[in-house]
């Protein structure tokens, strides 16, 4: 192991390249692990490694920039295109700072929280990859989605960088500073996870059976994946082209087209539209955004049950409030709601529910309940805005502390009856175990039927559109004054170097 480490370390002594994006434009911590892509692994204190367009890329935050190294390339990945590929992936033609200023002038809540989450960018991902990532996301949490996507790539994708030659693994071994046994164990455990694969093509994915996917822990999403693969392959041009063409049609049209595919409803469609199809106004309304909405933007909808119509109402409210790039504004607001991120907000800006960390901290200090409720918070924010003479209309959110998600009450009620047979999960924790899927974990009633289902049979046009370059459709609102490079000082360099691998 050590030998492999040394060998590859010297083999990969390349240098960092500047991406030319200041933290206000791109902050990796708010962009990569916050649920819009599940293809990145944190491989250091301020460093992530992932695969972009057939390249294994390491990106690292510095105080003034983000820099990158392409540590491996697959077929047809020319190094001359690295920079363009990454600028495209990080959507750097848009100027987030400028947008942020605009949103701040339009909305009190955004204004009060955005400085705690600078550089939360919306990526421009590959549509195929993005689509399957978000089929996996339904009724699921980030860490499991991440594992599922990883297995999908490992099982059906093309390896670009093997574990034995991975720089990341060498770092793991080198940094391990403990006794050699522990280090060896650590490395052994780490190695299988440190290979990098391209995301499988539709053709590669067509090799996956529902049974195999279930055996890998995809649950009921297994048939969504196989169903969508088939549906896409049946499109003229093989599916990939069809999907890319959605970049050139209006949001609504793209969303409706996506919703024809099994496993894709309005929320997942909005994710794909926002994160891969250039629909900057798309608002994925999930449980977090729903709470945001009834708290600040559509209080009149409180108590309603979530459905397509309600989602559209929420979306419209966001678009009216934030404008054509509302999806980007939503992204920052969404992140501020995540349990893993909301602790960054000062107490008085934090929404009602407290996270574990917050709870235990309070418990330790013998603190009592939180002081301000939503209405007070809103008043403070409104006052702040009005003081600045911004005559924007601020929704008055009166009322009280409905801290609990509405759907929770709903679920609590229904679970009384359900549960029962779902409780006994048939053992195969950790996914891999057996190869041949137990013919019927939860296949209670129908299932099995590979039928196209009602959604597949309705319409299916959307094949037209001009084939102009998709990137051209985007506006260049920023003349990017390259606050570039600025060689990070040695101290930071050192610190970053010392960072250990973290999964």
Site for DNA in 127-156 (CB under 7 A): 137-144
Closest CA to 330 of 36, 9, 51: 36
How distant, in Å, are the alpha carbons of 106, 113, 141, 385 from that of 388?
12, 16, 40, 5
Is 10 an interacting residue with respect to DNA (CB under 7 A)? no
Q: Are 86 and 121 in contact (CB under 8 A)?
A: no
DSSP per-residue codes, 160-198: EE-GGG-HHHHHHHHHT-S-HHHHHHHHHHHGGGG-EEP
**How far apart are the C-alpha atoms of 324 and 38, rounded to whole Å?**
26
Nearer to DNA by C-beta: 7 or 443?
Answer: 443
Site for DNA in 305-324 (CB under 7 A): 305-307, 309
**How far apart are the C-alpha atoms of 301 and 282, rounded to whole Å?**
19
Site for DNA in 331-360 (CB under 7 A): 334, 338-339, 356
Give the count of beta carbons closer than 10 Å to the beta carbon of residue 378: 22
Site for DNA in 42-101 (CB under 7 A): none
**DSSP run (H or E) holding 212:** helix 210-215
Q: Which entry of 235, 267, 279, 354 is annotated as an active-site residue?
A: 267
* Per-residue exposure over 4-20, b if at least 16 CB sit within 10 Å of its own CB, e if not: bbeebeeebeeebebbb
Nearer to DNA by C-beta: 101 or 433?
Answer: 433
- The minimum distance between CB 397 and DNA, in angstroms, equals 21
Site for DNA in 267-306 (CB under 7 A): 267-271, 274, 284, 286-288, 304-306
Site size for DNA (CB under 7 A): 73
**How far apart are the C-alpha atoms of 90 and 244, rounded to whole Å?**
18
| Position among 15, 80, 391, 430 found at the interface with DNA (CB under 7 A) | 430
Nearer to DNA by C-beta: 26 or 394?
Answer: 26
- The minimum distance between CB 356 and DNA, in angstroms, equals 4
How distant, in Å, are the alpha carbons of 183, 233, 312, 321, 393 from that of 316?
53, 33, 6, 8, 16
Is 453 an interacting residue with respect to DNA (CB under 7 A)? yes
Decide: helix, strand or coil at residue 56: strand
Site for DNA in 27-46 (CB under 7 A): 34-36
* Per-residue exposure over 287-318, b if at least 16 CB sit within 10 Å of its own CB, e if not: ebbbbbbbbbbbbebeeeebeeebbebbbebb
Q: Are 395 and 107 in contact (CB under 8 A)?
A: no
Nearer to DNA by C-beta: 385 or 406?
Answer: 406
- The minimum distance between CB 219 and DNA, in angstroms, equals 3
- The minimum distance between CB 444 and DNA, in angstroms, equals 3
| Position among 214, 247, 321, 342 found at the interface with DNA (CB under 7 A) | 214
- The minimum distance between CB 280 and DNA, in angstroms, equals 13
Site string for DNA, 410-429 (x = CB under 7 A): xxxxxx-xxx-xxx-xx-xx
- Catalytic-residue membership of 304: no
- The minimum distance between CB 118 and DNA, in angstroms, equals 17
- The minimum distance between CB 396 and DNA, in angstroms, equals 24
Nearer to DNA by C-beta: 254 or 269?
Answer: 269
Site for DNA in 215-274 (CB under 7 A): 217, 219-221, 224, 259, 261-271, 274
**How far apart are the C-alpha atoms of 390 and 354, rounded to whole Å?**
31
Site for DNA in 165-184 (CB under 7 A): none
Residue 79 CB contacts under 8 Å (≥ 6 apart), including other chains: 70, 73
Nearer to DNA by C-beta: 147 or 323?
Answer: 147
Nearer to DNA by C-beta: 300 or 307?
Answer: 307
Is 457 an interacting residue with respect to DNA (CB under 7 A)? no
Task: List the catalytic residues.
Answer: 267
């Amino acid at each position: 192991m050590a030998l492999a480490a040394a060998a590859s370390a010297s083999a990969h002594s390349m240098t960092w390249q500047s991406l030319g994006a200041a933290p206000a434009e791109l902050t990796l911590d708010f962009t990569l692990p916050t649920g819009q892509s599940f293809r990145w692994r944190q491989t250091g204190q301020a460093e992530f490694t992932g695969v972009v367009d057939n390249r294994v890329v390491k990106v690292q935050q510095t105080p003034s920039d983000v820099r990158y190294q392409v540590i491996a390339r697959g077929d047809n990945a020319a190094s001359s295109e690295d920079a363009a590929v990454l600028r495209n992936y990080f959507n750097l033609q848009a100027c987030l700072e400028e947008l942020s200023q605009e949103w701040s002038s339009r909305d009190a809540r955004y204004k009060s929280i955005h400085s705690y989450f600078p550089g939360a960018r919306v990526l421009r991902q590959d549509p195929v990859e993005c689509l399957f990532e978000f089929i996996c996301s339904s009724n699921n949490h980030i860490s499991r989605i991440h594992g599922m996507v990883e297995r999908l790539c490992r099982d059906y994708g093309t390896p670009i960088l093997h574990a034995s030659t991975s720089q990341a693994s060498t770092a793991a071994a080198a940094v391990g500073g403990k006794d050699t046994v522990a280090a060896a164990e650590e490395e052994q455990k780490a190695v299988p996870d440190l290979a990098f694969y391209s995301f499988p093509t539709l053709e590669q994915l067509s090799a996956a059976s529902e049974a195999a996917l279930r055996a890998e822990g995809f649950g009921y999403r297994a048939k969504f994946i196989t169903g969508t693969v088939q549906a896409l392959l049946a499109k003229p041009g093989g599916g990939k082209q069809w999907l890319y063409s959605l970049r050139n049609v209006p949001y609504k049209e793209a969303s409706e087209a996506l919703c024809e595919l099994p496993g894709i409803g309005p929320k997942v469609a909005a994710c794909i539209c926002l994160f891969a199809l250039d629909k900057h106004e798309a608002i994925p309304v999930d449980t977090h955004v729903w709470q945001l909405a009834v708290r600040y933007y559509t209080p009149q909808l409180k108590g309603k049950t979530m459905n397509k119509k309600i989602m559209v109402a929420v979306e419209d409210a966001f678009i009216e409030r934030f404008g054509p790039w509302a999806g980007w504004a939503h992204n920052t607001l969404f992140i501020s709601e995540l349990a893993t991120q909301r602790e960054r907000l000062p107490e008085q800006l934090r929404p009602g529910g407290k996270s574990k960390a917050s709870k235990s901290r309070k418990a330790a200090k013998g603190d009592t309940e939180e002081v301000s409720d939503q209405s007070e918070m809103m008043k403070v924010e409104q006052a702040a805005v009005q003081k600045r003479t911004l005559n924007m209309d601020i929704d008055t959110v009166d009322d009280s502390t409905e801290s609990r998600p509405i759907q929770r009450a709903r679920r609590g009620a229904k679970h009384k009856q359900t549960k029962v047979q779902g409780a006994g999960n048939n053992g195969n924790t950790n996914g891999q175990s057996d190869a041949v899927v137990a013919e019927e974990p939860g296949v209670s009633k129908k299932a099995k039927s590979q039928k196209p289902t009602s959604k597949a049979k309705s319409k299916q046009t959307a094949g037209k559109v001009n084939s102009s370059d998709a990137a051209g459709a985007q506006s260049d609102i920023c003349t990017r004054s390259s606050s570039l490079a600025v060689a990070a000082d040695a101290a930071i360099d050192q610190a970053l170097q010392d960072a250990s691998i973290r999964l």
